[in-house]
């Protein structure tokens, strides 16, 4: 029986074409597969807790893999992987879990953040969206709060996806402002393709005064992606937290 190991990591999505392996493109998944296969001298395939798109970052991400042998020194494995991996990927730790633990299907909730800077900032390039227009954050928060009243988020989903359902349980969604920095945070049991970026773009339209909260609710109820706002750039988006059942992660 194979042993299952979780990987706790973070990455800057700038140099990658997303998490998932794809032909002729650099991905986080492929980088981890190659590194672990080299170090463990066995073909390793890692499974991620989700699929971030090109340019999207992760402050916290989990992946898992199965290995026939017991790994005696996980700290040493962490050290070796970090030396070999692309500098944009950092592994925090490896830990053994039960054979039924799954980074994607066992997750109870995920949280994303979207970061905006309202002034030119050389340290925010590829890490925040520069958007200088003045926004009414109070109105944006009124719209964001309405997300908790709904389950079907078809209007914020990328078209022609192969998901079985567009139902999500959003448990928090709010904007905060600190000077010229704006931060949107949202937590749900699951997310649809492009959902967070479309929600951010639509709440920004509320902040601009182009639509109001009633319009925002009508957009959700329409269940039509063409009714919602723009999809904001990927480089401002971060997967920031994943929660698993108590006791699964030490």
Q: Which residues are catalytic?
A: 53
User: Which residue has tokens 């999500």?
Assistant: 168
Q: Which positions ≥6 away from 34 have C-beta within 8 Å?
A: none
Reading phi first (left if > 0) and then psi (alpha if -120 to 50, else beta), residue 41 is in left
Query: How far is the C-alpha of 194 from the C-alpha of 237, rounded, in Å?
Result: 10
* DSSP β-ladder status, 57-67 and 3-11: antiparallel
Q: What is the bridge-based pairing of β-strands 57-67 and 237-243?
A: parallel
Closest C-alpha to 88, from 114, 61, 57, 64: 57
In Å, how far are 51, 101, 115, 180, 185 from 120, measured between CA atoms? 30, 44, 14, 10, 22
Give CA–CA dist 187/203, Å, rounded: 16
Q: What is the largest CA-CA distance in the chain?
A: 59
d(CA 235, CA 115): 9
């Amino acid at each position: 029986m194979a042993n299952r190991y979780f990987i706790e990591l973070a990455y800057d999505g700038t140099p990658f074409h997303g998490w998932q392996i794809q032909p002729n493109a650099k991905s986080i998944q492929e980088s981890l597969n190659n590194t672990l296969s080299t170090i463990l001298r066995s073909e390793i395939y890692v499974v991620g807790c989700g699929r971030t798109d090109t340019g999207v970052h992760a402050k916290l991400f989990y992946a898992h893999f199965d290995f026939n042998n017991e790994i005696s020194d996980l700290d040493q494995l962490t050290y070796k992987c970090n030396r070999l991996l692309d500098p944009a990927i950092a592994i925090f730790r490896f830990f053994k879990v039960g054979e039924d633990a799954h980074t994607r299907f066992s997750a109870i909730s995920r949280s994303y953040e979207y970061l905006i800077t309202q002034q030119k900032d050389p340290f925010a390039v590829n890490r925040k969206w520069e958007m200088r227009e003045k926004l009414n954050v109070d109105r944006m928060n009124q719209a964001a709060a309405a997300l908790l009243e709904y389950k079907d988020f078809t209007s914020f989903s990328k078209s022609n996806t192969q998901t079985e359902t567009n139902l999500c349980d959003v448990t928090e969604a709010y904007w905060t402002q600190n000077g010229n920095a704006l931060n949107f945070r949202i937590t749900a049991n699951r997310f649809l393709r492009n959902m967070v970026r479309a929600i951010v773009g639509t709440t920004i339209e509320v902040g601009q005064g182009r639509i109001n909260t009633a319009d925002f609710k009508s957009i959700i109820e329409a269940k039509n992606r063409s009714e919602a706002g723009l999809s904001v750039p990927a480089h401002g988006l971060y997967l920031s937290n994943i929660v698993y059942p108590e006791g699964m992660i030490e």
